């Protein structure tokens, strides 16, 4: 039994109108050549449907099930996912010192307060080093003539002397010149620098360093940790000042091993079988030390990334330990060993073993979400002077850091919005193509997915999310700290925003049009666009996109006026000048232009032949005319009567030129709604001008049982099939519907029906047919 015959039997009537239409449609399908499936338009339709109905839901399901997206996902990587990296001339740690340049003898006299000590107290240093490089503030009589001559020599060579309080609020004194200049400073003042530093300078002076670079010596306050309670990892801290010597470019540092051939050792403190570092804070495990102990060894060599000379690896500066003011060589169960050339100071002995600690310098957003950076605080940098501000010396730091973010719960709104879009797409596909399948119906399905009230809701939801979380996403991208869940969230944002934005722009760009070539092109593009966006974001997820902070943000220190306003209690913060939604909007406009141009190309390349829809209608029209002429030849009197009947019916039904669907459902001619659908709006069937199935579906009406319903009402009827009938009685809701005459194909005037009563509709009778 054919579908039309089944309809006729179940309806309990003649159903000639529907029966013959279904039979004719079946014959046409049987006569079609299978080669029509290999047309480009069919491929495009299949790809669009598979992308929206299969690929996207599957991808979303994988994200939901294989990650913690729906449970306890975070926007930023936490401490257990911290990233360790080296950055030469790190833009996040770019700063300088204004009004700090002076004569080199100012730096020399500040160094002289060290005398023969390897480390001095921060209080002693700050009271002297914090002064500006104003010659009237210093008494240079304490410097030897050799030191004064060296100062003049360095000044003549253009060697920088930086002295004062820098933009981080730290008091420093540093000299930047050649390796020979720094070695001369060390030898002239007889400074107590680490033997490793002296050996590195000697190698560089001999021209045997890995590459050519300037060299620096400087002093700055450092934080040292020391144990106070036996067996406790809660160490106390104390500031101290020592020397550091380093090249401008980290890759130029010679590899010098710290062993007995460099300097000997001696026992300074016997511990009687107890290891002073048996327990220690976790942060002491981040960076390498220049002494042996139970602290896990960290490799000094590290992948270089982008450097001036293109080296594959660089050598980290080594943290130091002190006991009694002397540099530590070994800490074990026997005791604490120090350099054999140093004498223990009673002042420092009271603090016991002092271990150099990393610095935590967070980079925060104005919303008080921070990226925590534990830096190797043996600071190194490249100096420069800007011609526009010759009184300021710039400092681009070369940083080794371990980075992680604050705990910020991930908002699942973008994923929910995409899920809404996919569910609505599935429902629309079922509604439009449950009766028959064709490229034209696929285009109508795509049109219905891309239009409607929900597009505004999608756009509003994603816009709110992006505006509110813009700084968070940009901070994560700029620092390489976004989690996989955040990347998926951002991908969903870009997909949902660009899709809804282009759809709304298209819908309000002029007369309402099906624009069938654009619809499938835009749907198909979503697969490629979303895949590329996800792949790009995943590939750069752990790579800091430094151009974001450089071009679209402003890094502030709390020591500046603007920093005090925006950073609050944080040491530094970044203020973004442009919201992320601006970039996504520009991206969306570009996608819309590409889609429009692509659809024009597809339209021009499409063969200019009559559509399959029009051909089908011509065959149906011819069939109707043939049947009428046959009946007239066999029974002339009946033909005359039928002709009179037809004239009377046409006058009563079509006197305004409208079909019953146009008159009773949309209130006017179909052309007023869609300007580009003349070829598929009407069909001559059984001698009547009818609204086509495609036109009816395009306007948002659906076939359900013996009636025509609005699409929203059909969704309620589908829901009713899953609910107990008795429950529906509690809802006082009326649905509008139009009955389809099975013999004439004419729609009645609008009828109202309670939801409970409408749910009794026999949906098995659902069938699509032209409406007279």
- The string of DSSP codes covering 261-316 is TT--EEEEEE-TT--TTSS--GGGGSS-BSSBSSSPP--SEEE--S-SS--SEEEP
Query: Could you tell me which of 428, 381, 422 has the C-alpha nearest to residue 400?
Result: 381
- Residue reference for tokens 């529906």: 728
Would you say the C-alpha torsion 494, 500, 503, 504 has a positive or negative sign?
negative
Which residues of 32-113 form beta strands (DSSP E)? 83-87, 94-98
Residue 25 has pLDDT above 80, yes or no: no
Helix (H) or strand (E) holding 719: helix 711-720
Q: Are 384 and 394 in contact (CB under 8 A)?
A: yes
Torsional class of 686: left (φ above 0), alpha (ψ -120 to 50), beta (otherwise)? left
Residue 339 has pLDDT above 70, yes or no: yes
Residue 656 has pLDDT above 80, yes or no: no
Highest mean pLDDT: which range of 50-54, 102-106, 523-527: 102-106
pLDDT band at 655 (very low <50, low <70, confident <90, very high): low
Nearest 5 degrees, angle CA 455-CA 457-CA 459?
70
Q: Are 485 and 409 in contact (CB under 8 A)?
A: no
Round the average pLDDT of the chain to a whole number and report it: 84
> Between residues 390 and 647, which one has the greater pLDDT?
390
Residue 5 has pLDDT above 60, yes or no: no
Q: What is the mean pLDDT of residues 757-772?
A: 76
Q: Are 106 and 401 in contact (CB under 8 A)?
A: no
Q: What is the mean pLDDT of residues 503-510?
A: 79
CA–CA dist 368, 570 (Å, integer): 8
pLDDT band at 119 (very low <50, low <70, confident <90, very high): very high
> Between residues 556 and 636, which one has the greater pLDDT?
556
Pairing of strands 688-691, 682-685: antiparallel
Q: What is the mean pLDDT of residues 277-306?
A: 92
Q: For residue 336, give Cα distances in angstroms to 356, 387, 442, 459, 686.
A: 15, 51, 80, 66, 106
What is the pLDDT at residue 716?
Answer: 86
What is the pLDDT at residue 759?
Answer: 84
Region of poorest pLDDT, from 313-327, 638-652, 719-733: 638-652
Residue 262 has pLDDT above 60, yes or no: yes
> Between residues 157 and 506, which one has the greater pLDDT?
157
Q: What is the mean pLDDT of residues 489-502?
A: 94
**How many Cα atoms are found within 13 Å in the side-chain-facing hemisphere of 303?**
4
Residue 38 has pLDDT above 80, yes or no: no
What is the pLDDT at residue 12?
Answer: 39
pLDDT band at 644 (very low <50, low <70, confident <90, very high): very low
What is the pLDDT at residue 320?
Answer: 95
Torsional class of 661: left (φ above 0), alpha (ψ -120 to 50), beta (otherwise)? alpha
Residue 766 has pLDDT above 70, yes or no: no
Q: What is the mean pLDDT of residues 546-559?
A: 88
Residue 728 has pLDDT above 90, yes or no: no
Q: For residue 364, give Cα distances in angstroms to 410, 473, 563, 712, 753.
A: 18, 12, 11, 47, 60
Q: What is the mean pLDDT of residues 162-184?
A: 91
What is the pLDDT at residue 511?
Answer: 58
| Angle between helices 580-605 and 484-507 in degrees, nearest 10 | 60
Provide the residue count of the chain.
772
Q: For residue 529, give Cα distances in angstroms to 440, 499, 533.
A: 24, 10, 6
What residues does 84 pair with on adjacent strands? 402
- Residue reference for tokens 């070539």: 517
What is the pLDDT at residue 35?
Answer: 61
What is the pLDDT at residue 174?
Answer: 93
Instruction: State pLDDT tens for residues 665-724.
Output: 888 888 878 877 777 788 888 888 888 888 888 888 888 888 888 888 888 888 888 888
Residue 477 has pLDDT above 60, yes or no: yes
Q: What percent of the chain has pLDDT over 70?
A: 88
Residue 757 has pLDDT above 60, yes or no: yes
CA–CA dist 245, 247 (Å, integer): 7
CA–CA dist 211, 252 (Å, integer): 5
Is the whole model's pTM more than 0.85, yes or no?
no
Helix (H) or strand (E) holding 550: helix 546-552
Q: Are 613 and 516 in contact (CB under 8 A)?
A: no
**Count of C-beta atoms within a 10 Å radius of residue 363:** 24
What is the pLDDT at residue 607?
Answer: 60
Judged by DSSP in three states, 746 sits in coil
What is the pLDDT at residue 237?
Answer: 93
pLDDT band at 33 (very low <50, low <70, confident <90, very high): low
Q: What is the mean pLDDT of residues 146-154?
A: 95
What is the pLDDT at residue 314?
Answer: 95
Cα radius of gyration rounded to whole Å, the chain: 40
CA–CA dist 441, 433 (Å, integer): 7
Q: For residue 707, give Cα distances in angstroms to 585, 744, 748.
A: 43, 14, 9
Residue 503 has pLDDT above 60, yes or no: yes
Residue 654 has pLDDT above 80, yes or no: no
Region of poorest pLDDT, from 25-34, 489-498, 536-545: 25-34
What is the pLDDT at residue 546?
Answer: 85
Instruction: State pLDDT tens for residues 523-539.
Output: 888 889 999 999 999 99
Instruction: State pLDDT tens for residues 611-633.
Output: 434 433 433 443 343 344 334 33
Q: Are 533 and 491 in contact (CB under 8 A)?
A: yes
CA–CA dist 571, 375 (Å, integer): 14
Which DSSP state fits 744? Answer: T
> What is the distance in angstroms between the CA of the first residue and the CA of the last residue of the chain?
26
Instruction: State pLDDT tens for residues 211-246.
Output: 999 999 999 888 999 998 888 999 999 999 999 999
Nearest 5 degrees, angle CA 43-CA 38-CA 58?
35
What is the pLDDT at residue 4?
Answer: 41
> Between residues 134 and 437, which one has the greater pLDDT?
134
Which DSSP state fits 436? Answer: -
What is the pLDDT at residue 632?
Answer: 39
Region of poorest pLDDT, from 35-44, 161-170, 414-423: 35-44
């Amino acid at each position: 039994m054919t579908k039309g015959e089944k309809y006729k039997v179940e309806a309990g009537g003649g159903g000639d109108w529907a029966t013959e239409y279904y039979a004719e449609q079946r014959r046409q399908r049987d006569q079609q050549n299978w080669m029509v499936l290999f047309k480009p338009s069919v491929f495009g339709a299949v790809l669009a449907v598979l992308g929206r109905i299969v690929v996207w839901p599957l991808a979303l399901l994988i994200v939901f099930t294989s990650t913690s997206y729906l449970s306890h996902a975070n926007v930023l990587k936490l401490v257990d996912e911290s990233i360790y990296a080296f950055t030469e001339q790190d833009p996040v740690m770019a700063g300088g010192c204004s009004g700090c340049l002076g004569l080199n003898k100012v730096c020399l006299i500040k160094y002289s307060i060290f005398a023969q000590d390897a480390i001095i107290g921060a209080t002693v240093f700050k009271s002297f080093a914090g002064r500006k490089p104003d010659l009237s503030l210093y008494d240079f009589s304490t410097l030897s003539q050799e030191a004064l001559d060296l100062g003049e020599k360095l000044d003549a060579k253009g060697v920088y002397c930086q002295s004062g309080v820098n933009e981080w609020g730290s008091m420093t004194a540093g000299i930047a010149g050649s390796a020979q200049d720094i070695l001369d400073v060390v030898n002239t003042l007889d400074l107590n620098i680490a033997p490793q530093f002296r050996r590195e300078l000697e190698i560089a002076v001999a021209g045997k360093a890995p590459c050519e670079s300037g060299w620096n010596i400087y002093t700055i306050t450092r934080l040292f940790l020391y144990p106070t309670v036996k067996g406790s990892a809660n160490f106390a801290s104390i500031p101290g000042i020592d020397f550091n010597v380093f090249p401008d470019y980290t890759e130029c540092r010679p590899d010098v091993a710290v062993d007995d051939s460099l300097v000997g050792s001696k026992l300074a403190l016997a511990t009687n079988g107890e290891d002073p570092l048996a327990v220690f804070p976790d942060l002491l495990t981040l960076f390498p030390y220049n002494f042996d102990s139970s602290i896990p060894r960290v490799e000094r060599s590290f992948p270089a990334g982008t450097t001036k000379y293109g080296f594959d690896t660089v050598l980290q500066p080594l943290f130091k330990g002190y006991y009694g003011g002397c540099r530590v060589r070994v800490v074990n169960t026997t005791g604490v060993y120090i350099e054999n050339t140093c004498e223990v100071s009673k002042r420092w002995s009271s603090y016991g073993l002092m271990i150099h600690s990393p610095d935590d310098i967070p980079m925060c957003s104005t919303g008080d979400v921070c990226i925590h950076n534990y830096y190797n605080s043996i600071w190194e940098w490249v100096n420069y002077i800007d011609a526009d501000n010759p009184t300021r010396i710039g400092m681009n730091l070369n940083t080794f850091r371990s980075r992680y973010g604050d705990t910020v719960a991930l908002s699942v709104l973008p994923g929910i919005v995409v899920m809404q879009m996919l569910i609505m797409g599935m429902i629309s596909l079922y509604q439009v193509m449950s009766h028959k399948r064709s490229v034209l119906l696929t285009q109508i399905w795509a049109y219905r997915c891309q239009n409607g009230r929900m597009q505004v809701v999608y756009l509003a939801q994603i816009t709110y999310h992006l505006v509110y979380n813009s700084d968070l996403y940009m901070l994560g991208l700029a620092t390489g700290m976004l989690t996989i869940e955040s990347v998926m969230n951002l991908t969903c944002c870009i997909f949902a925003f660009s899709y809804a934005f282009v759809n709304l722009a298209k819908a309000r760009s002029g007369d309402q049009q099906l624009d069938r070539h654009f619809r499938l092109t835009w749907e198909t593009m979503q697969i490629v666009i979303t895949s590329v966006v996800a792949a790009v974001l995943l590939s750069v997820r752990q790579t800091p996109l430094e151009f974001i902070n450089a071009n679209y943000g402003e890094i502030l220190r709390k020591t500046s006026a603007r920093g005090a306003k925006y950073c609050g209690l944080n040491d530094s913060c970044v203020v973004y000048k442009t919201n992320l939604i601006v970039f996504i909007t520009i991206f969306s406009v570009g996608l819309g232009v590409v889609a429009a141009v692509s659809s024009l190309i597809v339209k021009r390349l499409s063969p200019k032949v009559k559509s399959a829809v029009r051909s089908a209608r011509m065959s149906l029209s011819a069939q109707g005319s043939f049947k009428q002429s046959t009946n007239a030849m066999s029974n002339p009197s009946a033909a005359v009567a039928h002709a009179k009947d037809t004239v009377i019916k046409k006058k009563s039904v079509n006197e305004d030129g409208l079909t019953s669907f146009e008159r009773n459902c949309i209130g006017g001619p179909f052309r007023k709604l869609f300007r580009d659908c003349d070829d598929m709006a009407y069909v001559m069937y059984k001698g009547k001008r009818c609204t086509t199935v495609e036109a009816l579906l395009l306007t948002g009406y659906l076939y359900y049982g013996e009636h025509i319903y609005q699409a929203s009402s059909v969704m309620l009827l589908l829901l009713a099939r899953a609910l107990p009938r008795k429950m529906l009685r509690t809802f006082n809701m009326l649905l509008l519907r139009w009955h389809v005459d099975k013999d004439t194909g004419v729609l009645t005037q609008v009828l109202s029906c309670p939801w409970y009563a409408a749910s009794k509709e026999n949906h098995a009778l659902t069938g699509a047919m032209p409406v007279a």
